């Protein structure tokens, strides 16, 4: 059975639990608790779990009520009964959303019956979990889309950044840790799953090379599980990068991130004191953090997803962009299409930059690629896939084909090769021109006839749909609260 088939089977089990009042997001949390028990058996670390709570004890129990009661006790007590840091983190503040013992047994038996290996004997538990995360993100009512960046975009960003062995990479807004997992897989594919590395080097790659920070407890739990299922023992901190804690996150060779959209609650500014331009805009604060967290060696690099307002906001926004272009070589901005994230109509971009060795005049000019104007509307009918990036990849790399990108491209920016690319979506704007435009980076979009003719109604329709979806989510949450209160 393939990873997708297993994921579909597990996901469909949620339908069985509907009468138990379990939402998709709660179901994924529940699966995480139960899958980790199965994982402890498969990966042979059951010794860290008290014997009466091990996987076989639940599989072989014939009394559903007894089994379910033991599971509830396990969730409440395991963090105090184990010495394993991973287990303590996974089950921190855990509680079950299930109410009926028979439903717990249904999940246990279904998970135990599945074949977790492909014909090649490759362990596919990580692939299955990634697929479940993606399905959860696709459910508008779950609200989980904000923690999930489309996989094709993540993979392209990783391949263009081209992480190297021995480098330290970080995601300061980690979500479910997708960027770092993709970066790790990129290197595992190149270096035979690290088998040929020395024990010291392999330990570094597994434990130290990739790290992250996540603010939301449930997302942090999913990130930990996702990393463990992919063979990573990375440090993933439960916390807020924009507080004092974030000051210690520095000296990285690379950063990959999609910071949360919006402003801090109540318009608050960050609580750390090392930002030159503190603002209530979270993306601008994350951007400051990211370029400050890179090594000043002329090689440390970042690729960051940011909304349009970061490109044009006045005041602190202008000062931060100027500071970014001084300290870093902002060599490429990809104008992404709308509709690829959970909120319809949100306009986003990827900023690619390299930290300079000096503090000023590192950006001489910026290459822009317009992947937004006059492109298909992505959704169920037109899936957002790797194929959408074909022309951008060739422009960014100066001619490398997408199918050979991971093997042939080492991350080096070849300006001479870039200038040879002929594509109306690909254009260079020098630093002097950007300065004359008040350091705005809201540039590089080609003319759109449908907009100038006034007949493009897709964005207002998308915004209306988004508002209806949000109203639906709020209604569901209120109904759940009323039910919980009796």
Q: Is residue 212 part of a domain?
A: yes
Element (H, E) at 235: strand 235-238
Among the ranges given (88-97, 194-203, 250-259), the one the predictor scored with the smallest mean pLDDT: 88-97
For 187-238, write each residue's pLDDT tens digit. 999 999 999 999 999 999 999 999 999 998 888 998 998 998 888 999 999 9
The parent domain of residue 330 ranges over 144-446
CATH code, 53: 1.20.1260.30
Query: Distance between CA 27 and CA 411 in Å, rounded?
Result: 40
Query: Distance between CA 237 and CA 189 in Å, rounded?
Result: 27
Domain count, the chain: 3
Burial class (CB in 10 A: 0-12, 13-18, 19+), 359: exposed
Domain shared by 121 and 152, yes or no: no
What one-character-per-residue DSSP string does 209-231 give? SEEEEE-SHHHHHHHHHHHHHTT
Q: Are 350 and 392 spatial neighbours (Cβ–Cβ below 8 Å)?
A: no
Residue 301, pLDDT score: 98
Q: Is residue 102 part of a domain?
A: yes
pLDDT at 92 exceeding the cut of 90? no
Mean of pLDDT values over 143-171: 87
Q: Which of 111, 133, 155 corresponds to the end of one domain? A: 133
Domain shared by 106 and 163, yes or no: no
Domain shared by 101 and 168, yes or no: no
pLDDT band (50, 70, 90) for residue 452: very low
Tokens of 204: 């570094």
Length of the chain: 486
Domain shared by 92 and 216, yes or no: no
Mean of pLDDT values over 264-290: 82
pLDDT at 450 exceeding the cut of 70? no
Q: Is residue 138 part of a domain?
A: no
Q: Is residue 255 part of a domain?
A: yes
Q: Are 307 and 283 spatial neighbours (Cβ–Cβ below 8 Å)?
A: yes
Q: Is residue 254 part of a domain?
A: yes
Which of 306 and 41 is assigned the larger pLDDT? Answer: 306
Domain shared by 436 and 476, yes or no: no
Q: What percent of the chain has pLDDT over 90?
A: 55
For 347-394, write each residue's pLDDT tens digit. 899 999 999 999 999 999 999 999 999 988 787 778 889 999 999 999
pLDDT at 431 exceeding the cut of 80? yes
Domain shared by 268 and 346, yes or no: yes
Residue 363, pLDDT score: 98
Mean pLDDT of the residues in the chain? 86
Domain shared by 173 and 231, yes or no: yes
Burial 297-315 (b: 16+ CB within 10 A, else e): eeebbbbbbbbbebbbbee
Domain shared by 186 and 207, yes or no: yes
pLDDT band (50, 70, 90) for residue 18: low
pLDDT at 1 exceeding the cut of 70? no
Q: Is the dihedral of CA 60, 65, 70, 75 positive or negative?
A: positive
Residue 265, pLDDT score: 54
Domain shared by 307 and 354, yes or no: yes
Q: Which of 113, 133, 153 corresponds to the end of one domain? A: 133
Domain shared by 125 and 179, yes or no: no
Domain shared by 199 and 285, yes or no: yes
**pTM, two decimal places:** 0.86
Q: Is residue 185 part of a domain?
A: yes
Q: Is residue 284 part of a domain?
A: yes
Q: Are 261 and 371 spatial neighbours (Cβ–Cβ below 8 Å)?
A: no
CATH code, 430: 3.40.50.150
pLDDT at 264 exceeding the cut of 60? no
Q: Which of 133, 155, 178 corresponds to the end of one domain? A: 133
3-state DSSP call for residue 471? helix
Q: Is residue 16 part of a domain?
A: yes
For 32-43, write each residue's pLDDT tens digit. 899 889 888 888
Query: Distance between CA 158 and CA 177 in Å, rounded?
Result: 13
Domain shared by 70 and 203, yes or no: no
């Amino acid at each position: 059975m393939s990873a997708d088939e297993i994921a579909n089977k597990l996901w469909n089990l949620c339908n069985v639990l509907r009468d138990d009042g379990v939402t998709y997001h709660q179901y994924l949390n529940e699966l995480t608790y139960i899958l980790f028990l199965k994982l402890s058996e498969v990966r042979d670390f059951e010794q860290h779990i008290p014997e009466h709570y091990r996987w076989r004890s639940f599989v072989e129990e014939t009394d559903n009520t007894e089994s379910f009661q033991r599971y509830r006790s396990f969730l409440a007590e395991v963090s105090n009964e184990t010495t394993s840091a991973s287990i303590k983190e996974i089950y921190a503040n855990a509680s079950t959303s299930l109410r009926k013992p028979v439903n717990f047994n249904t999940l246990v038996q279904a998970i135990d019956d599945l074949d977790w290996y492909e014909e090649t004997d490759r362990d596919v538990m990580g692939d299955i979990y990634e697929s479940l995360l993606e399905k959860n993100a696709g459910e508008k009512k779950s609200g989980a889309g904000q923690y999930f960046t489309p996989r094709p975009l993540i993979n392209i960003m990783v391949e263009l950044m081209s992480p190297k062995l021995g480098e330290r990479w970080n995601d300061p807004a980690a979500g479910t840790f997708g960027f770092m997992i993709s970066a790790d897989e990129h290197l595992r594919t190149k270096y035979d799953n690290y088998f040929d590395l020395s024990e010291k080097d392999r330990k570094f790659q597994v434990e130290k090379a990739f790290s992250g920070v996540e603010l939301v407890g449930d997302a942090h739990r999913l990130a930990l599980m996702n990393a463990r299922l992919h063979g990573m023992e990375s440090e993933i901190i439960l916390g807020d990068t924009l507080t004092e804690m974030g000051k210690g996150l520095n000296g990285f060779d690379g950063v990959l991130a999609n910071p949360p959209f919006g402003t801090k609650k109540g318009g608050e500014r960050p609580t750390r004191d090392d930002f030159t331009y503190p603002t209530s805009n979270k993306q601008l604060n994350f951007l400051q953090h990211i370029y400050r967290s890179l090594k000043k060696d002329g090689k440390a690099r970042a690729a960051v997803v940011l909304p349009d307002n970061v490109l044009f906001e006045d005041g602190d926004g202008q000062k931060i962009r100027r500071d970014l272009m001084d300290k870093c070589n902002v060599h490429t901005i990809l104008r992404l299409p709308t509709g690829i994230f959970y909120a319809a109509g949100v306009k986003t971009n990827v900023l690619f930059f390299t930290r300079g060795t000096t503090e000023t005049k590192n950006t001489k000019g910026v290459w822009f690629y317009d992947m937004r104007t006059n492109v298909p509307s992505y959704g169920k009918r037109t899936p957002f896939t790797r194929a959408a990036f074909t022309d951008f990849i060739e422009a960014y790399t100066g001619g490398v084909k997408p199918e050979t990108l991971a093997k042939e491209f080492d991350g080096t920016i070849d300006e001479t090769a870039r200038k040879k690319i002929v594509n109306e979506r690909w254009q260079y704007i020098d630093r002097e021109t950007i300065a004359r435009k008040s350091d705005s980076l809201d540039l590089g979009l080609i003319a759109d006839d449908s907009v100038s003719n006034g007949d493009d109604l897709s964005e207002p329709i998308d915004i209306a749909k988004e508002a209806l979806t949000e109203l639906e989510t709020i209604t569901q949450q209120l109904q759940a609260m009323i039910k919980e209160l009796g």
